[in-house]
Chains A and B, each alone.
Chain A
Amino acid sequence: ETGVTQTPRHLVMGMTNKKSLKCEQHLGHNAMYWYKQSAKKPLELMFVYSLEERVENNSVPSRFSPECPNSSHLFLHLHTLQPEDSALYLCASSHEYGGAYNEQFFGPGTRLTVL
């Protein structure tokens, strides 16, 4: 039990679909993250929220749209994706954003396949 949950665990979608990924953390943390993990590549940071405000957006295409309605929930809205967007999408949380020794706790990820 990691304290960070993600749904769905697996998602197959067409290029014209709209879907959303959900993340919830039960750790009382103030920062939440979305990462993309592709095979044999480093984790790519997509978005960071601190106290429900977006603090990082690392040149992510607009077809990915994050939403953080409160400090416990994070969404990633997907629309008109491309096949190269197929990957494992990981959500993480930490006590705070910035500062040394800021251990991140990860959810199990959503395996996304775009057809």
Chain B
Amino acid sequence: GQNIDQPTEMTATEGAIVQINCTYQTSGFNGLFWYQQHAGEAPTFLSYNVLDGLEEKGRFSSFLSRSKGYSYLLLKELQMKDSASYLCAVMDSNYQLIWGAGTKLIIKP
């Protein structure tokens, strides 16, 4: 079966750096997405990786290793507003999005 694994919850300190990991086993691969979802709000797009390597976008970066079935989302200079759930999703060979259960990130002052 297809599976996406990510930690259920993580805690970090304001101003610090946090890395949220995602491992996947899917039928084919057509890219990996990261979304951010604040409580009670819509998920919003953060990043898309289809080739190996690091994609940087401001304070957020996303890394992909297709051979290892692994990605991470790196958040730098954490702010209180970064407290949210982070969803990892992989597009399989049928262009279906397979979703992880999300990682709840708690930022402490």
Contact = CB atoms under 8 A, between A and B. Distances in A.
Most buried by A among B4, B8, B35: B35
A3 B67 CA distance: 36
A99 interface: yes
Nearest to A103: B45
B43 A42 contact: no
Contact of B43 (A56, A90, A102): A90
Given A40-B8, A100-B30, A101-B50, A106 B96 contact: no
A104 B4 CA distance: 18
Nearest to A56: B96
Contacts, number: 51
Interface of B: 4, 8, 30-31, 33, 35, 40-45, 48, 50, 87, 89, 91, 95-102
Contacts of A43: 87, 89, 97, 99
B31 A108 contact: no
Size class of the A contact interface (CB-based, 8 Å): 20 to 34
A59 interface: no
A66 interface: no
Contact of B42 (A4, A56, A99): A4
Contacts of B45: 103-105
A99 B97 contact: no
A112 interface: no
Nearest to B6: A42
Nearest to A42: B99
Interface string A92-115: 000001111111111111010000
A45 interface: yes
B8 to A, nearest CB: 7
15 contacts: A2-B44, A4-B42, A40-B101, A42-B99, A43-B97, A56-B96, A99-B95, A100-B31, A100-B91, A100-B95, A103-B48, A104-B45, A106-B42, A106-B44, A108-B42
